[in-house]
């Protein structure tokens, strides 16, 4: 990566005029719907292999949080809902995921530090405190949901069941059915059945 690509040359600046137009509260229904919509999109599978009897076996995937995606969703929601800003999403059906270059312009401008500095302005102080507190409430809700989903998806019992299901191939199923058939035939012939005394 060249040095030129690592230096942000453009970033956004919050003005007093724009701070006077922000939203300081997003209704709980909207927060809940957003969390339901995007939490699963912040989780990605991680492929895991295990060596059994010298043979690599693909295990049921583990899941982890994708911090890049989650950060971009959080910034997109902050820009659209709280700052009343706009950006062009990469996917028109996913309007909350801010593109990386737009994310960098907001994050590179240290947008939250800009807002913190606005607290020194007595006219904007309450607005800054209220907006950041409400945004932090949304962030906490999303973090909690992602954490709970990752834990549920990585549950060892569920993963063990998935591994067992994956190990049942047509060949192994045929062998199991043959064994069941043999047991039934032996029972019919009286093999392995003890007489009552």
Ordered by start, the domain boundaries in the chain are 9-154
Determine what percent of the chain is predicted with pLDDT higher than 70. 78
Quick: pLDDT tens for 137-184.
Answer: 999 999 999 999 999 988 876 666 666 665 566 666 676 667 777 777
β-pair partners for 65 = 43
Least confident of 52-56, 89-93, 142-146: 52-56
- pLDDT value of residue 197: 47
Task: Assess whether pLDDT exceeds 60 at residue 128.
Answer: yes
């Amino acid at each position: 990566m060249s040095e030129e690509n690592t230096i942000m040359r453009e970033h956004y600046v919050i003005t007093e005029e724009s701070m006077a137009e922000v939203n300081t509260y997003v209704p709980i229904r909207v927060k809940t719907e957003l969390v339901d919509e995007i939490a699963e999109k912040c989780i990605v599978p991680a492929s895991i292999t295990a060596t059994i009897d010298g043979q690599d076996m693909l295990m049921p995937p583990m899941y982890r949080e994708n911090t890049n995606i989650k950060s971009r969703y959080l910034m997109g929601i902050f820009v659209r809902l709280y700052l009343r800003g706009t950006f062009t999403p990469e996917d028109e059906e996913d309007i909350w995921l801010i593109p990386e270059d737009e994310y960098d312009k907001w994050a590179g401008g240290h947008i939250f530090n800009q807002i913190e500095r606005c607290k020194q302005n007595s006219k904007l102080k309450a607005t800054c405190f209220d907006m950041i507190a409400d945004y932090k409430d949304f962030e906490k809700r999303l973090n909690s949901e992602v954490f709970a989903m990752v834990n549920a998806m990585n549950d060892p019992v569920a993963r063990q069941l998935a591994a067992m299901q994956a190990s049942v191939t047509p060949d192994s199923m045929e062998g199991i059915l043959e064994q069941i058939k043999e047991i039934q035939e032996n029972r019919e012939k009286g093999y392995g059945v003890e007489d009552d005394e």
